[in-house]
């Protein structure tokens, strides 16, 4: 799994120094992930890929103050399949948190939005009787 910081607005290298010196266990840091972005690549045992991404992003945020705001999905609207669906959801949520901060929204605002639409969000896809829509 690769998680990176889509570096906008541009942050200086020292913002990532602690992460570079001490990445999460099982991960390596690069300031040129995919030739452009600071990020980490590695593996994490967890019940699902979504949980693994959540754990690593939370660890990096709490230990180093770095928001890994990209889970490596380019053109997320094009991906809806069992192999990448959890990675896509994590990618979109990380991007939302990053962008929300720049327009005056908080994580509570984002959670409020998700909670407000929850009644219209029946489980679909694998493990349910509803197909992907």
Spans of all domains in the chain: 2-74+84-104
How far apart CA 22 and CA 20 sit, in angstroms, is: 6
Write down the pLDDT at residue 29: 96
Q: Which residue has the tokens 């990020």?
A: 39
Measured in residues, the chain has a length of 133
How far apart CA 63 and CA 59 sit, in angstroms, is: 6
| 22 alpha-carbon distance from chain centroid | 19
pLDDT at 129 over 60: no
pLDDT at 74 over 60: yes
Write down the pLDDT at residue 122: 62
**Predicted confidence band of residue 133 (pLDDT cuts 50, 70, 90):** very low
pLDDT at 13 over 80: yes
pLDDT at 128 over 50: yes
Question: Tens digit of pLDDT for each residue in 52-62?
Answer: 999 999 999 99
pTM beyond 0.85: the answer is no
Run of H or E residues at 2: strand 2-4
> Among 108, 41, 95, which residue's Cα sits nearest to residue 69?
95
In the DSSP assignment, the letter for residue 9 is S
124 against 101, higher pLDDT: 101
Write down the pLDDT at residue 60: 94
């Amino acid at each position: 799994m690769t998680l990176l910081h889509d570096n906008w607005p541009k942050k200086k290298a020292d913002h990532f120094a602690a992460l570079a010196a001490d990445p999460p266990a099982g991960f390596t840091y690069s300031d040129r992930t995919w030739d452009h972005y600071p990020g980490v690549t590695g593996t994490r045992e967890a019940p699902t890929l979504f949980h693994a991404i959540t754990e690593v992003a939370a660890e990096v945020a709490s230990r180093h103050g770095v928001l890994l705001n990209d889970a490596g999905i380019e053109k997320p609207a094009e991906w809806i399949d069992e192999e990448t669906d959890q990675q896509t959801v994590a990618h979109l949520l990380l991007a939302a948190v990053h962008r929300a901060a720049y327009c005056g929204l908080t994580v509570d605002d984002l959670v409020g939005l998700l909670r407000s639409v929850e009644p219209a969000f029946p489980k679909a896809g694998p493990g349910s009787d509803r197909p992907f829509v």
